[in-house]
Amino acid sequence: MPQEARITIEASRPIARVQPALYSQFIEPLGKCVYEGIWVADRPEIPQENGMRTFALDALRRIGPAAVRWPGGCFADQHHWRDGIGDPGERPVRLNLWWGGTEPHAFGTHEYFEFCERIGAFPYVCGNVGSGSVAEMRDWLEYCNVEGPTTLTDERRENGHPGPLGARFWGVGNENYGCGGHMSPSDYAAEYRKFATQLRRVDPDVKLVAAGYTPEYNLKLLESLITEREQSRDLIDHVAIHRFFRTGGHDVEFSEEDYYSCVAESLLLDDDIAKADGLFKNYDGSGDRIGLVIDEWATWHSNAIRDAGLFQRNTMRDAVIAAGCLNTFTNWSDRVVLTSTAQAINVLLHVIAVDGRFAWLTPNFYVFEMIRNHVGNDALPADVECPDLAGGDGSSGGLPQLSVSASADPERRSGVVCVANSHISEPIDCRVTFAGLPARSAAASLLSTSAPNAFNEASGPDRVTPASTSVDVDDGELRAELPPHSVALFDVELN
């Protein structure tokens, strides 16, 4: 008999409305993410729309990320935006300092904005603090967001875009504690203040994102930035953090111990968010909270190295972990304003994989397709009673076997529940109730494979795909058995 779990959803205690930006994507000229993944203008044999791979556009339209972050990542702090505008034949070719090879700038500002427009996403631009100047970033923002007329907006017009391009989020550097300049929190705070002061004057509506790091770094950053200069509170909207799960061993040939180690590491995200929440509370104004942005998060397996363009095959294990993270973001939707995985195509925890003219969807893609059912609903707290996972050595790891997120539409006529069973080999019998709201009927979609290391590839693109599965509704309660290492999405009609 499978173990049992009981999930009780508190329909009367909404956390926050689920914003689509919670499930966004990130692209960088790294490996095949941008060139070959999206930009295939020089590959006529690959179906494309104005130089962009049709498969990638169609797939991203399906999961509808609200935002796409670009151009980095570490690349952002070496990128000079003027290199990527104007006649493509005249654009400079420079070294890609972080990821090797060269950067032709064929996919520059206008190509990126057109890409966002084609998939219905808003642009989240990451500016260059590490090797750029305040004036350079200020000019880029004016070029992108100001109606004009100014000399810069006239130039934009001449480059084919009369109206503003509309970047709603603007990152002030990336990982400036590391590849973005190895700055201490107080060094970065001093830089941030100079950049943000001018960016705010150019476009008061753009959301400015400071590049944070660990809880200790963020504490010092906010102390230097705000406590020491109170008037600087207006300069900051959001703080970004990154989290990679690096203890999972090889992408496909992993042991049970590797599997649980990676799952356990991914649960640290909840703690990261709780700590950021505790810190930001000290600086929240009424109706003006500092939002947490998690603009890079991913599994990072041992064979995803620079020479491989950070490519790793994404298995069912990655999908289970991704579902756990997306559930966590949903459960913190009162603090987390945007998250984007690293990265959309081929890199680390990607949703699309390409190899020349071949392209396919990863298991992770289907998790994104499931989770977006929460968008527009009120996220709801779920009380989960389930067994703990046993660690790879057989000892109890104290890790809950299930990860859950739940939501309901504002009128409470329908609900959505996403459940991931992280157990590598055991199924679990789940009973789900919306407290005070009996379920009338439910449909479920299930992503499940016999082996946890199953993955899709060019020669087997549909090995891991979701299927609809039966759910019993008995006396207002849902009942379903979840196979090992699986993800399920329940769409529930409520009374």
Site residues, ligand AHR (CB under 6 A): 28, 72-74, 174-175, 296, 342-343
Contacts of 50 (CB under 8 A, 6+ apart): 114
In Å, what is the CA distance from 244 to each residue of 270, 325, 365, 466?
13, 11, 18, 26
State whether residue 365 is helix, strand or coil.
Answer: helix
Residue number, 174 or 330, with CB nearest to ligand AHR:
174
Q: How far is the CB of 79 from ligand AHR (least distance, A)?
A: 11
Q: How far is the CB of 179 from ligand AHR (least distance, A)?
A: 6
Residue number, 39 or 143, with CB nearest to ligand AHR:
39
Radius of gyration of the CA atoms of the chain, in A: 22
Q: How far is the CB of 245 from ligand AHR (least distance, A)?
A: 13
Residue number, 105 or 412, with CB nearest to ligand AHR:
105
Q: How far is the CB of 130 from ligand AHR (least distance, A)?
A: 11
Number of helices (H) and strands (E), helices first, in the chain? 10, 28
Residue number, 73 or 108, with CB nearest to ligand AHR:
73
- Residue closest to ligand AHR when measured from CB atoms: 73
Q: How far is the CB of 343 from ligand AHR (least distance, A)?
A: 6
Find the Cα–Cα–Cα–Cα dihedral 367, 369, 371, 375, rounded to 10°: 160
Q: How far is the CB of 341 from ligand AHR (least distance, A)?
A: 9
CB 28 within 8 A of CB 34: yes
Long-range contacts of 255-258 (CB under 8 A, 24+ apart): 255/392, 256/392, 256/424, 257/391, 257/392, 257/393, 258/392
Q: How far is the CB of 234 from ligand AHR (least distance, A)?
A: 27
Residue number, 192 or 311, with CB nearest to ligand AHR:
311
CB 31 within 8 A of CB 443: no
Q: How far is the CB of 72 from ligand AHR (least distance, A)?
A: 5
H/E segment holding residue 359: strand 358-361
CB 22 within 8 A of CB 64: no
Residue number, 175 or 378, with CB nearest to ligand AHR:
175
Residue number, 342 or 367, with CB nearest to ligand AHR:
342
Residue number, 175 or 237, with CB nearest to ligand AHR:
175
Q: Which residues of 269-296 are buried (b: 16+ CB within 10 A; e: fewer)?
A: bbebbebbbebbeebeeeeebbbbbbbb
Q: How far is the CB of 170 from ligand AHR (least distance, A)?
A: 16
How many angstroms separate the CA atoms of 122 and 478, rounded? Answer: 37
Residue number, 141 or 342, with CB nearest to ligand AHR:
342
Q: How far is the CB of 185 from ligand AHR (least distance, A)?
A: 17
H/E segment holding residue 166: none
- In 3D space, the residue among 56, 61, 71, 65 whose CA is nearest the CA of residue 362 turns out to be 56
Q: How far is the CB of 98 from ligand AHR (least distance, A)?
A: 6
How many angstroms separate the CA atoms of 407 and 359, rounded? Answer: 33
Residue number, 33 or 323, with CB nearest to ligand AHR:
33
Q: How far is the CB of 128 from ligand AHR (least distance, A)?
A: 13
Amino acid identity for residue 293 in this structure: V
Q: Residue 74 carries which DSSP code?
A: G
**CA atoms within 13 A of residue 185's CA, in its CB half-sphere:** 17
**CA atoms within 13 A of residue 378's CA, in its CB half-sphere:** 17
Residue number, 110 or 242, with CB nearest to ligand AHR:
242
In Å, what is the CA distance from 162 to each residue of 143, 147, 153, 435?
11, 8, 8, 52
Residue number, 325 or 464, with CB nearest to ligand AHR:
325
Contacts of 245 (CB under 8 A, 6+ apart): 262, 265, 266, 298, 299, 300, 321
